[in-house]
A and B are shown apart, each in its own frame.
Chain A
Amino acid sequence: MAISPTPRGEDWIRVTEAGLFVEPGGFHVDPARPVDRAVITHGHADHARPNHRAVLATPETLAIMRARYGDAAGGTLEPLPYRRPITLDGVTVELVPAGHVLGSAQAVLTWRGCRVTVSGDYKRRSDPTCAPFEVVPSDVFVTEATFGLPVFHHPPAEAEIGKLLQARARNPDRAIVLGVYALGKAQRVIALLRAAGYDRPLFLHGALLALCELYREHGVNLGELVPATGRPKADFQGQIVLAPPSAIADRWARRLPDPMAAAASGWMRVRQRAKQRGVELPLIISDHADWDELVATIQEVEAAEIWVTHGREEALVRQAELLGLAARALRLVGRDEDGEDAA
């Protein structure tokens, strides 16, 4: 390890097979396989994997991991609320809101005067279900690039919810079955519907119930939610039914009357992507930063270096270079290349 008065990021953080390894602290951030010590940015499965020996994360993220993995959530689970820095073997770790899902955090790591912020997944839009992203000036900023192409622009989520309500009003005989990821997207869409004044019961696929309950316990108001089971078909006419994306065009949806497949995801921006999944009503609602937000963020953090992880690294690296920023791609294994469901 090179020793100098102020080290550079690469002097103390490197990519191993398990993921991003913080050498002096002896821990990984969001490792892809079980390790001794892990700092977890948020509860999505490609970041929070089970069976680490010790896990440090926000209390909300730990609650999500326990709900998903039970005893396999990890050996010891240490909660670290937002903005309460602690020191692990000389490395200061502070968790700062990332605005992605409930409990999501950027891991702000400081060692010998060098600050590296691992942002995990993030977005810059307001979200009634989680704390908003905060800009942390850093020496190195590690960014995701899920929507790292200039074709990705997320319109205001409120307008997309408007489309959903309009489609419902126009199709009183059909059920709208909306594909949403179980963690984050489901609760955000429900909260947005409530904010738009939609106060009828919402019907839910069984796989979404537990996490909605968890959000409720954390003070997020979701209104009346009803399991979409054991009812006559006709009950669902003119109703909105939420289900995991894999269920909307599958056998599960056959219980619904003439179901209209909808999906809420940043990928819905690309027509053929939506068509391919049999989506009739695409809603562009994402919990990730779109291209403009990614480009704004890498400038606002004023970092000397940008490291780009999962997604379309090459394009964001290119854009950073065009802006005169030093940037490189980190090849991390184990990330879902397209982030398809969580996006």
Chain B
Amino acid sequence: MKAFAQLMEALVFTPQRNGKLRLLVDYFTAEPDPDRGWALAALTGGLSFPAAKAGLVRGLVEQRVDPLLFRWSYDYVGDLAETVSLIWPPRPGPDRPPELSEVVDALADASRSTAPGLVERWLDALGPPERFALLKLITGGFRVGVSARLAKTALAQAFDQDLGEIEEIWHGLTPPFTELFDWLTGGAGRPVIDDRAVFRPLMLANPLEDADLDRLDPAAYRAEWKWDGIRVQLAASGGERRIYSRTGDDLSSVFPDIAEAMGFDAVLDGELLVARPAEDGDAGVTVAPFNDLQQRLNRKTVSAKMLRDFPAWVRLYDLLFDRSDDLRPLSFDRRRQHLEAWFDRVRPARMDLSALVPFDRTEDLHGLRDGARAAAIEGLMLKRGDSPYLAGRPKGPWFKWKRDPLILDTVLLYAQRGHGKRSSFYSDFTFGAWTGDRAGEGELVPVGKAYFGFTDEELARLDTWIRANTKDRFGPVRAVTPALVLEVAFDSVHRSTRHKSGVAMRFPRIHRIRWDKPAEEADRLATLEAMIVLG
């Protein structure tokens, strides 16, 4: 546990990517199996212990520390594992600090009734940095600035192996990755991933900059609409049906309606949406706003009513595997031909093809993008016709070009201290708009919340302003004098019953801080309502 805790501690305080990489390389080279495999699992989010969750940690600490003192400490520190690691008053006892693999094995075997006793004894036996590492294993989210990608890069460096080779087999492996380390250290061959429906790393697009557009050769690129849903990979093979999110999370159980329609043997790339039959009796469907899809996400189970009210749909745009044929080395144009032929042949329910949008000149794209106001369209995708399907985010072959955001002048109403890096700054902002017929009339109702879009300097200034203009405090939240205008940018706005204002913004962020503008001149709720586009 000590080496693992030291690694975590060092990663937190090492800002440079190369510094982190060095730490990881040293760790993976020096530590034995299975500890290094468990550490890798922890860093890549692959560990979860059903018997031990954040609630267990809270329960334990509240038996030892006054709940009120704990709550205030948590508000201040902003991270459960760190708070408990610092506040824990150890009772002296004969306990020996456990090894990482001991912790993982014991937690995996524990039940809800035995886990608390285990964790409590370990907390007593460990010092604060090791307590932190232990608690992070339980609560998840190490926040040490290491992505799964960086961890894999470190593996590739440590054992002089090709990163792509590791990526390709990654999703067929399970912690503690013994097969992987056996291969990397030269003791065994590369693990063989059979044709189970594993996740294949996605090809991602870069945002289109103005300079990219100037250089873009219109004849070499194809355009598609950028759909406002979530990116999914459908992988079906030998009876296995998996729906993966962009990051490889398995969503199959949340979308049984899609899984049911996957009676094929292929791996497809597409956009998950909520869509209903088109009103005009056409064969097509009308895509619902993102807000509808939101109802289906983040749920463990789905009711029949959910399935009926928010029917899922996948708009397909790429074919990676047709049976066992790996189409990824082929060009986009060739894959598109395969995709269209495959679709004609298979005709799966609840799916259609994302159409190619024809254009001749680069200037045409501006018009297309600006004209795209349908709720389900976020902008345009541009893909090079001759590009193979490459894992990661290569610069050049794929671009995403979002339409301009909507803008509203709002008034800052509440601020909350951030978590993580911003734990001492008021960095989460709730803002409102006027209910009256004219700006400055009626009352201000909250219309949204944003926590990014500003620089560190602006954040420091906002923090100072909030402290100086606090009207009231509710725990970590401050109500402020409604006097500061925030220009908020957002992608779209929808009706919502969850908010007092009756509307919800999609992807709101602070666009500009209008230190100069009086609150009375901020926008009205009615202005925002007028921006609602129905599906």
Contacts and interface: CB of A to CB of B under 8 A. Distances in A.
B77 A270 contact: yes
B12 A318 contact: no
A271 B72 contact: no
Interface string A50-90: 00000000000000000000000000000000000000000
Contact of A322 (B66, B87, B132, B423): B66
Contacts of B112: none
Interface residues of A, number: 26
Nearest to B19: A280
A151 B83 contact: yes
Contacts of A11: none
Contacts of B424: 272-273, 276, 338
A337 B66 contact: no
Given A150-B65, A318-B66, A272 B76 contact: no
A319 B67 CA distance: 11
Given A269-B86, A270-B77, A337-B467, A282 B69 contact: no
Nearest to A261: B15
A131 to B, nearest CB: 31
Interface centre among A152, A276, A318 (most CB of B within 10 A): A276
User: Which of A278, A279, A315 has the most chain B CB atoms closer than 10 A to its own CB?
Assistant: A315
B82 A270 contact: yes
Given A150-B65, A151-B86, A270 B423 contact: yes
Contacts of A274: 13
B13 A149 contact: no
Contacts of B66: 318-319, 322
A281 interface: yes
Contacts of A269: 86
A33 interface: no
A273 B69 contact: no
A272 B14 contact: no
A149 B83 CA distance: 10
B72 A314 contact: yes
Nearest to B419: A272
A335 interface: no
B87 A280 contact: no
A82 B428 CA distance: 48
B423 A276 contact: yes
B471 interface: no
Contacts of A149: 69, 72-73, 76
A272 B87 contact: no
Contacts of A153: 86
A272 B77 contact: yes
Given A149-B69, A149-B72, A280-B14, A272 B86 contact: no
Nearest to A151: B86
Contact of A281 (B13, B422, B425): B13
B68 interface: yes
A272 B73 contact: no
Interface in B1-58: 12-15
Contact of B423 (A273, A314, A319): A273
Contacts of A338: 424
Nearest to B420: A272
B76 A151 contact: yes
A112 interface: no
A147 to B, nearest CB: 11
A320 to B, nearest CB: 11
A150 B87 contact: yes
A312 interface: yes
A318 B69 contact: yes
A14 interface: no
Contacts of A216: none
Contacts of A319: 66, 69
A280 B76 contact: no
Contacts of A281: 13
A275 B132 CA distance: 16
B73 A275 contact: no
Contacts of B83: 151
Contacts of B425: 276
B116 interface: no
B78 interface: yes
A280 B423 contact: no
B423 A272 contact: yes
Interface in B86-137: 86-87, 89, 132
B22 to A, nearest CB: 13
Contacts of A273: 423-424
Nearest to B83: A151
Contacts of B215: none
B2 to A, nearest CB: 16
Interface string B422-434: 1111000000000
B421 interface: yes
Interface in A148-164: 149-153
B370 interface: no
B195 interface: no
A269 to B, nearest CB: 7
Contact of A279 (B13, B70, B72, B86): B13
B80 to A, nearest CB: 12
B421 A272 contact: yes
B77 A276 contact: no
Contact of B68 (A276, A278, A280, A318): A318
Contacts of B14: 280
Contacts of A278: 15
A155 to B, nearest CB: 9
B465 to A, nearest CB: 14
Nearest to B72: A315
Given A271-B82, A275-B421, A318-B69, A280 B13 contact: yes
B79 interface: yes
B516 to A, nearest CB: 27
Contacts of A318: 66, 68-69, 72
Contacts of A270: 76-77, 82, 86, 423
B76 A312 contact: yes
Q: Which of A150, A281, A312 has the most CB of B within 10 A?
A: A150
B77 A151 contact: yes
Interface string A272-297: 11111011111000000000000000
Contacts of B69: 149-150, 315, 318-319
A5 to B, nearest CB: 38
A278 B145 CA distance: 14
B195 to A, nearest CB: 44
Contacts of A282: 13
Contact of B421 (A150, A276, A279, A322): A276
B79 A312 contact: no
Contacts of B72: 149, 312, 314-315, 318
Nearest to A337: B467
Contacts of A322: 66
Interface of B: 12-15, 65-66, 68-70, 72-73, 76-79, 82-83, 86-87, 89, 132, 420-425, 467
Given A151-B77, A272-B423, A312-B72, 5 more contacts: A149-B69, A273-B423, A275-B12, A314-B72, A337-B467
15 contacts: A150-B70, A150-B89, A151-B86, A151-B87, A270-B82, A270-B423, A271-B82, A272-B77, A276-B424, A276-B425, A279-B13, A312-B76, A315-B68, A318-B72, A319-B66
Q: Give the 7 A-B CB pairs with smallest separation, nearest first.
A: A151-B86, A272-B423, A151-B73, A149-B73, A151-B87, A150-B87, A315-B72
